[in-house]
Structure formats: structure tokens, C-alpha cells
Structure 1
Amino acid sequence: MMKPNLLLISVDQMRGDCLSILNHPVVDTPNLDQLARVGVLFRSAYSATPSCIPARAAMLTGMSQRSHGRIGYQDQVPWDYEHTLPSVLAASGYHTQCVGKMHVYPARSLCGFHNVVMHDGYLHHNRIRTANTAAEFYDSCDDYLPWLRERAGADCDLLDLGLDCNASTVARPWHLPEALHPTNWVVTQSIDFLRRRDPRKPFFLSMSFVRPHPPFDPPQAFLDMYADADFPSPAVGTWAQADDPDRCGLNPITNKGIVPRHRLKRAQAAYYALITHIDHQIGRFLQAMLEHDVLRNTVILFTSDHGEMLGDHHFFRKALPYEGSAKVPFILADPGGSLRLNRNTTNDQVVEIRDIMPTLLDAAGAAIPETVDGQSLLPLARGERVDWRNAIHGEHECKDMSNHYMTDGVLKYIWFSQSGREQLFDLSQDPQELINLADDERYRTSLENWRERLAAQLADREEGYSDGKRLNVGRPAQTLLKQALGASL
């Protein structure tokens, strides 16, 4: 019998709570809900480094940030990893294909895939005209734009809507036919792969969407679905800054500030609409898989690289340790039942993006390289008794808000390395992180324990954050670990 096909569906900047099966008060995700019903929904899934590049390094290599070396957002650093998910699967007899976002360097690096049909969205370093001509950008850094220009006119560009690629507070509807939207394009190209794949081999397809990452530009039909919705107010903790003296919220690409309520409401509507749009296009692809008779022999994993604060605690975008930014949706589905999962169940063990590679390799019966730090989720998903990790460590360089966090899915400890500020949240009682318990005497012992655990975690790091017992405040934050990346720098 042929090995199972593998489908990794990844989206960009989708919050972990934005699934209707999790009783979100507004967002509707019927197809993702159905995947959860034929699989397992992991409710405590995190991105250890919640921005695009480092999260995708974990996704492709199965490594922790200590091993893959990316602890902040920095473009144009070569990807020279010995083992990647597609390279191991290709060596195991799989036909491997990526459609959509890669966000690697060089942009055309295959990273082990047999082929990549790429759209990374708007990347500033690729668009600087002093370094790249327009022709070089279209020809070497993107496959969607030439496709779009052939159908909608030679002058079409990613900037036509006037929306910035990081503007999490500004929205407007897509201006062209829905079939030309980047979300539809990913599915159109993925369906074409089903036609062109080698039928003698199992396939691994990475279907990687740029949305719901900004620009917030859903097709009008999906925006209309949320026109009259009663949007929940963002979570604002008692610890959050109460005013906006620098008027940061009036900057459409800031990661903090208080924005006008009407603008925030439009942004929420567009963000949720983009998620539902993706959900419907996933439904389109599942139907195509039925028609190609591959659905029942395909294992499907759905996740995001990180979340979106969307106004929580007056923050936007990502790179922060809070649930809106660091927590991601995570579904392992098995429509055909070959993996013997406890289908239509949830699991609350703390999992991370680095667990994707070992999970899919385990499903394929392929050997897991020693470089992989993650763990296969199949035993958890089958309900087996497993000696699982007791916490994860996350971090991100973020200037004066550079941060580290640790969580076991119940408690979360946060340390801001530049100021020494600490936060402690009881997620079991306070999932929106409204109450900081760091100054609560009842939690002093717990706070000290978490601080010691983080100090041990950072003991031999090159930044000098810790001597193994105590945390050192004010050490310069880095975006990369030289010890891990070595010759790549």
C-alpha cells in the first residue's frame, strides 16, 4: 500500500482562537471545523518565535530557535539547513511541492522541495528598486504577480489598494474578481499540482497562504458576511497602557496604540473575512482532492506561523508573547482513518510549530533526523500515555519590548529582557491575560520557579542573558544566534 499523502496547510498571522469550533463569537470556519472533526484539535499550540521567518524555520526544520538560530525578524540570511521536512520526504520517495509563501533566502531556494510556485506577498527588501529592477522582482521573486498581470493588466501591482503589508488597522475590499485574489491563486495552483503530480509516488504538498496577514483586503462577499456582526471588544488587561500620548494608534503600521473604534471595527471585519475566505478555499481544495481520489489517503495538518494581536492590550501585529500573537490554530486531520487518531477530540498538551516536521515524518514512516528538536504528535493524537514536555520557551527580539516567555499551557511567565519587567498569567482562569499576577504574593513561589526555569533555559546563550541561576537585564537583544547559524552569517 502506498504511503499516505501529506498536506500541510499553513496560513500567515491567524490567531489561535479564530475557529468557530472553538466557539469564537464571530468568525465562521466550517471547513476547518470539519477537519477538526476527522482529527485532533490542539488547543495549546504556540509559535516559539512569533514572526514569519523564524516560525517558518521551525516549521521546515523541526528545530527549536536555539538550533535554527533565528530569534527575531531578519531578512536575507541564507537558509542552509542540512535536513528539512521536504528534503527528508523527497529522500523517502515523496513528490514534494510548495505553493504560496516560503519567505526564505535566497527567495528561490527550494529547501528540499522538488518545485516551488511562490508568492511571498510584499517583501520590502525584494522591492527596493536600487537593488532590484521591476523585471528582476517579477521574474525571480514571485510567481503570482506575472500570473495576475496576464489576467488583469500589465500595470497591476501589490500596492494598488493603497494598503501597507503590515497595516493591521486599515482595511478595504479586494478590487478585482475573487478568482484573482492571492488566496484563490494558492488553491488554483494547488489543484493544478494534483493534475501534474507523479501518480506513482505519494505527495507532500505545502499549501501556504499569505493571508490573513495584512493587507486586509477580503473579497466583498466575505466582508459582507461580517457587516452586521457584533464584534467583541479587544481584551485589555489591567496592566495595559491606558492612553496613547504618542498617538501611535493613528499610524496604520504601528504595533501598538489606541485606534479609532470605527477603524478597528473595519479591521476586525476584514480580518475575520479573510479567514472565512481561506476556509472556503480550503473547502474548494478538499472537493478537488475528492475528485482526484486522494482525500482518504491524505494526512492533513493545518496551522499558522503566528497570530495577530488585533488590538488586544492596545497592541497589533505579532512578535509579542501574548496569546493573540504567540498562540496558533493547530489541527491534525486524518480523513481516511489510517493513523488511528482519536478523531473529533481536543488535546491540551503544549505543542509548538517545531512538532510539525516529526509528526508528518512519523505519519510517512520516515526516519526523523537527529537535528529535529520537536516531537511527533501522533501518540498524543491517539490518546496514548506519553512523557510529554512540561513547558515550551518562546522569545522574540522586539527592541525595547524584546521578550522571552515560558508556558505549560496553564501558566505563562513573561520576561522583557531590556527592562526586566515580568508578567505571570493563569491561562486556565484568565485566558485573555487580563490580570498580571507577578506582584501577587500568592504567586511569589510560582514566579520564582518560572524565573529560575527561564534562567536555566538561557544559561549558555551567547547574549549573556543568564548565568544559569539569575537573569541579566539589559543585555543587547539579537535577531540571530551566531553559534547556530555559523557560516550562514
Structure 2
Amino acid sequence: MKVVFLLFDSLNRHALSCYGNKQHLTPNFDRLAERSVQFERHFVGSLPCMPARRDIQTGRLNFLHRGWGPLEPFDHSVADILRSAGVITHLITDHYHYFEDGGAGFHGRYSSWEFIRGQEKDKWQPQFLENEALYKNKYEKNQHDFSTDINSKLPYFINREYLEKNQQFPLAQCFDQGIDFLKKNGNKDQWLLHLELFDPHEPFFAPERFLKNYPEALSGKIFDWPSYGRTDISPSLLNKLRANYSALIDACDHYLGLFLDEMDQQNLWEDTWVILTTDHGLLLGEKEFLGKNRPPFYNEVAHIPLFIAPPNSFNCSPQKSKVLTQTIDIMPTILDIFKQNIPKQVTGYSLLPLMQKYSEKKSRYGCIFGQFGSAINFTDGRYSYFMYPLDPQVGDLYQYTLMPSHMRTFFEVADFKDAQIIKSLPFSQGFPVWRLPVNPDTKANMVKRYPLLDAKTVLFDLDEDPDQRKPLNDLDLEISIRKKIIRLMMENDAPEELFSLYGLELNKINVSST
């Protein structure tokens, strides 16, 4: 058996014509959709980037126990399970977060891997700031950030100069490497190709030939990287930002098409699965917000695309599926394809039975998703519910980890104040773990870095209000949903303190905060 797993970053569902976008055509995403089960109710699990990837690798939710961090020693990794079973697992990626402190442990689980350099803040080219005036003249003031801080945008400006000068675009290089893998190994068996693209994540840096249809992007100074938060930019800058994103979507579509051409040329559809999805979306002015992490997880962020194109030998015709799925289902689905046992710690479900029309298996009754320390969000496909802590500034919040790293740094000594060692968690396979209280005074924790906006517990009816503009006031429905959230939290081994933090009690529902 063979599997191609294509993972984009920040690929908005509503940007694709196969998901209903009539103004922006994406013919190659459509082309894959025509071969696929296109999932219409697919949602995120944990956010943002590396928490989502831990969900993908392990089939478990990250955000209830930990923020951004490495793969844990006790985690079941789909890449490692397959490699141990004799499947060749190859990772091609330009997603540089894998190679920072907070992304350790992921790429090493593969049989082999290829890393393409130069995206976003990848610490690639030496950061000598010799051309600050050039950068100030080239980029809009809104994204001027030339400090030497580890989180500054300076690496992007320097990397981009090098990439443009040498006509090396990471997106193109990744797909070139993927096509080369197919050319060399398409006729072999028992492999997983994980082809992962950082695009269309910000900065929205597309080769110039994809910008020709977007005059707003080409006029004036470059503005391709929004700050997360409220939309506090002019309409012209917002249009420029959206144009740059659209051009990058066109680039993603183009290179996907070249990859599909190679699939066609080798007739790999006979015995190869193709799975395509993303980690999350982002807001580009919708609901008057930009980005993710800080605003509520509206459907622009949480409702994401998923295509699974089975080989011709699998008893399944192309269709649009209404079953409710989420990110943690990817791992058990891939294991099921390779006929590997799914570890008992996995809380996701294989989607293979749901893809076959004769299956009587029912889909999940709901799913929870979110970001560590933010809302615990719920959807059943009909309703969406954002449930915030009773008081975000008060209450116990702990990280449970053996790998104490933030995104780009290790934990500080202050992070270990009042730390405890817990003998084991239900899913940690006997490993002890640190129980570390979140310290608001430490520099690198993302709870502090991304203060929440509009942190109000609200309920929406997606059928009647798909744009999520009109919160419902339905106490009985809210109580019913909160009971489902409790059940889902328990199924995912949520720490006891979270039930109190979010106003949930195991024996009764406290709705006074809502």
C-alpha cells in the first residue's frame, strides 16, 4: 500500500472553489476533489501549528494538557509505528517549526526526511542588518520589525532577498522533491510520503508570476504579513493583504497540479491513497479580525478542508461527506490503510468505514477543539459553542510534559516554581510527567504572548447563522452541549482542574457564567 499525505498550513476552506468559492477558482484542488471523499464537516483539533501536528501524529488532542511543544517520549507517532512495521516513511517539508526547540522529536520518527529552508522566521541566512533603509522602503510600515529578538520578522526580510535573488521558492522546491520521490519510488510498495507545505501561511510570499492577476498586491509597498488581532488597517491595505493571500493560493494550486500530473502519468491512482488537509485556517478581516490565536475560533479558522482520494481498488466512489471529523482522525485512518493496530490511547477514529456507503458506523456526536489556555470549543456540525474560562486571569492552569520547551526557547527556571512530578497520566504509558503551573511572568509562554480578544462564551446555530454573527440564547441547548463537552473532556483524559476552570462540574452543570 502507498499513501501520499499532503499537509498545507493555513489553507482556508472558503478559499477553494470546490468548497463553494465562486470568485476564486482552484482547478487543481477541484481536480483532486473529483477523485475524493470531500469532507464537508471537518474541524481542527489543537491549535496552532505544532499542537496540530502532534494531533496528527498521535491521534490525540494536545491542547487540554499542553501548549506548543515537542513530541513526547510516550507519544505513539504514526510515522514511527509505520517505520517499525517496515513501511518507508519519508517527510519533505519547509515547515521550519519542526527544527526549533518547540518542534523537537517529530522529523526523527521518519525513515528519512528533507528540509527546505527559508520560510518565514527560519534562522537560515545570517542576520546582519545592513539594509534597514531598503526594507523600510520595500515594506509597509505595519510590518516593520527589524529587531534582533528571537521572535522578530527580520529573518523573513533577509531570507526573502536571498530567495528572490536565486529564484528559489520553498513551495516549488517541496513539490519538486515530492515529484522526484514519485519518479524514483512510484513503482515500489509500502511507503508513506508526507509532503508538507508551509504555504499559504503568512507571510504571503508568492512568486511574482502568480501576482499578475492581483494589481492590489503589486502596487506600492509590500504588505503580506498581518499582526494577529483586530482589523485596524485601512481598506486598501486589507485588499492588498487578501490579494497576496489569493496569489499564494494560486501558487499552491499550480504546484499541486504538477504533482497530480505525475500521479496521472504513473497511474498511481490504482494503488495509492492521497490525503490532503491543513492544520487550521485564518481570518483575513472577517469578523473584523486578522490571523488566529487571539480572536475566537470562528469557522474561518476551525472549519478546514479534508480530501481523501482512495485507490481504485477501494470500494468507495467520490462523494461529499457530511460526517463530522477532525484532525485527530488522520492518524488512525493512515494506520488503518496500512492494516496496523490503532493504539488504545488514540481518541480519533479511522475514517475508512465512514467512506464506504454500506458501512453502518455512525459518526461522532461532537468534537472539542482549541488552543491551550483559551476557549474549549465545541461543534456537532449544526451548532458551535465557544466556552471560555470563568476568569482567564484567575485559576489553575498546568502544562503536563516531559519536554519543557516553548516555541523557540526552553522553559525558564520560573516555569518550574511549584512544579510537581506526576507518576503517570492515562495516556503516558507509565512515564512520569512534569505538572508545571503556567507562570504569566515568564517570557515565552503563548498564553501571555497572545492575549485573548472577545473572550465571551457564545453559542451559534450554523444552519441559520453560518457567518456566526448572531449568538443564540438557549439555556437548555447550552446545558446539553456542556454535558457533551464534559463527556468529551473525560474521553480525552482532561486534567481535573480544567472542569473547575471552565465552570464545569462532573455531577452538575454550572451555567451561571454564561
Amino acid at match of 2:89: T
Is 1:329 the counterpart of 2:305 in the alignment? yes
Deviation at 1:416, TM superposition (A): 1.8
Instruction: Give deviations 1:170-205, integer Å, cap 9, x for gaps.
Output: 99x997389621110110111222344495432211
Amino acid at match of 2:466: P
Whether contact under 8 Å (2:47, 2:63) holds in the other structure is: no
What residue in structure 1 maps to residue 505 of structure 2?
Answer: 467
Distance 1:467 1:269 in 2: 47
Deviation at 1:300, TM superposition (A): 0.4
Deviation at 1:91, TM superposition (A): 2.7
3-state SS in 2 of match to 1:301:
strand
What residue in structure 1 maps to residue 397 of structure 2?
Answer: none
Whether contact under 8 Å (2:200, 2:248) holds in the other structure is: yes
* Percent identical residues: 25
Amino acid at match of 1:412: S
Instruction: Give deviations 1:256-293, integer Å, cap 9, x for gaps.
Output: 23321111111111112211211110111122233445
Distance 1:348 1:62 in 2: 21
Distance 2:78 2:53 in 1: 11
Is 1:209 the counterpart of 2:197 in the alignment? yes
Is 1:33 the counterpart of 2:30 in the alignment? yes
In structure 2, the CA distance between the partners of 1:436 and 1:289, relative to structure 1 (3 Å rule), is same
Amino acid at match of 1:409: G
Amino acid at match of 2:308: L
3-state SS in 2 of match to 1:316:
strand
Distance 1:450 1:178 in 2: 54
Distance 1:444 1:58 in 2: 32
Deviation at 1:360, TM superposition (A): 1.7
3-state SS in 1 of match to 2:179:
helix
Match of 1:390 among 351, 354, 365: 365
Amino acid at match of 1:103: H
Instruction: Give deviations 1:215-268, integer Å, cap 9, x for gaps.
Output: 111122222234489xxxxxxxxxxxxxxxxxxx9x942322332111111111
Distance 1:385 1:192 in 2: 40
Whether contact under 8 Å (1:84, 1:111) holds in the other structure is: no
What residue in structure 2 maps to residue 451 of structure 1?
Answer: 482
Is 1:55 the counterpart of 2:55 in the alignment? no
Is 1:371 the counterpart of 2:362 in the alignment? no
Deviation at 1:88, TM superposition (A): 1.9
Whether contact under 8 Å (2:63, 2:372) holds in the other structure is: no
What residue in structure 2 maps to residue 423 of structure 1?
Answer: 458
Instruction: Give deviations 1:331-380, integer Å, cap 9, x for gaps.
Output: 1112x42222231x111221101111111222222222222211111122
Q: Which moved more, 1:387-396 or 1:293-302?
A: 293-302
In structure 2, the CA distance between the partners of 1:260 and 1:431, relative to structure 1 (3 Å rule), is same
In structure 2, the CA distance between the partners of 1:352 and 1:265, relative to structure 1 (3 Å rule), is same
Amino acid at match of 2:470: I
Amino acid at match of 2:380: D
Deviation at 1:22, TM superposition (A): 2.0
Distance 1:120 1:369 in 2: 34
3-state SS in 2 of match to 1:338:
coil
TM-score, normalised to structure 1, is 0.75
Q: Which moved more, 1:31-40 or 1:80-89?
A: 80-89
Q: Which moved more, 1:403-412 or 1:295-304?
A: 295-304
Amino acid at match of 2:481: W
Whether contact under 8 Å (2:83, 2:110) holds in the other structure is: yes
In structure 2, the CA distance between the partners of 1:364 and 1:22, relative to structure 1 (3 Å rule), is same
Q: Structure 2 regions of 5+ residues with no counterpart?
A: 146-150, 218-222, 393-454
TM-score, normalised to structure 2, is 0.71
What residue in structure 1 maps to residue 409 of structure 2?
Answer: none
Q: Structure 1 regions of 5+ residues with no counterpart?
A: 128-132, 138-154, 230-248, 475-489
Amino acid at match of 1:27: H
Counterparts of residues 237-386 of structure 1 (less than 5 Å): 252-319=226-293, 320-334=296-310, 336-343=311-318, 345-383=319-357, 384-386=359-361
What residue in structure 1 maps to residue 97 of structure 2?
Answer: 103
Deviation at 1:27, TM superposition (A): 2.4
What residue in structure 2 maps to residue 140 of structure 1?
Answer: none
What residue in structure 2 maps to residue 432 of structure 1?
Answer: 467
What residue in structure 2 maps to residue 85 of structure 1?
Answer: 78
Q: Of the two structures, which has the highest relative contact order with CA contacts closer than 8 Å and spacing of 6 or more?
A: 1
Amino acid at match of 1:217: F
3-state SS in 2 of match to 1:463:
helix
Q: CA RMSD in A?
A: 3.5
Deviation at 1:311, TM superposition (A): 1.2
In structure 2, the CA distance between the partners of 1:18 and 1:85, relative to structure 1 (3 Å rule), is same
Deviation at 1:405, TM superposition (A): 0.8
In structure 2, the CA distance between the partners of 1:177 and 1:284, relative to structure 1 (3 Å rule), is farther
Is 1:94 the counterpart of 2:87 in the alignment? yes
In structure 2, the CA distance between the partners of 1:208 and 1:62, relative to structure 1 (3 Å rule), is same
Distance 1:36 1:429 in 2: 27
Amino acid at match of 1:305: D
Amino acid at match of 1:427: L
Distance 2:324 2:117 in 1: 29
Whether contact under 8 Å (1:166, 1:214) holds in the other structure is: no
